[in-house]
Amino acid sequence: MAKSADRTRKRILAAAYELFYRKGFARVSVDEIAASARITKRTLYYHFDSKDDLLATMLESHHEMALGQIRKWGERLSGNLNAMIDLLFADLANWASKPRWSGAGFTRLVMELADLLGHPARAIASRHKAALEAWLTSEFATRKVKKPEERGRQVVLLLEGAMSLILIHRDRRYAKAAAEAAKLLVEREFSESI
């Protein structure tokens, strides 16, 4: 019985992720999630107290999965800092080329929930973005970049800006422009330390 309940819960989370990512939190009903998961609304509420609880659980699960992917991605990086930055932004451009790409789900959901400061999804999204920034900071520290915390924050800002502008203009060249800006930031630090 526990395995069946676990499979049902995973199916609900997968349906919610797909719908929230494609349509946004507010535009998706609990009825729509239940139908997509092929369950009743009552079953959905058996597993989750509310739509907000479902969103928070789904984001927590996605946060862990995304961090795992970032770690795997990091294993592919060479020691060359410019190559690392190029790969980071090239992967963004590649991701943005996917059909129906609609930007970073964490960012979009926080914007949608901007007036709900205490919503648990905001805290999870904040923790996710902070983990990404910490990972970049660690990569920069490993590569002996001066002020790795500052550079990590700046590159995350460039990533978020590039994602937003790619989404607005449907022009993936923003990823290349952001990569060039990131390399200039890092190169400046190296030239100032020589």
The CATH superfamily holding the domain 1-48 is: Homeodomain-like (1.10.10.60)
Asked if residue 41 has pLDDT above 80, the reply is: yes
pLDDT of residue 190: 55
The pLDDT assigned to 152 comes to 96
pTM of the prediction? 0.85
Mean pLDDT of 112-128: 91
**Superfamily classification of domain 51-193:** Tetracycline Repressor, domain 2 (1.10.357.10)
Would you say residue 191 has pLDDT above 80? no
Query: Looking at residues 161-184, what average pLDDT do you find?
Result: 97
Domain extent listing, the chain = 1-48, 51-193
Burial 50-75, CB ≥16 within 10 A → b, else e: ebeebbbbbbbbbbeebeeeeeeeee
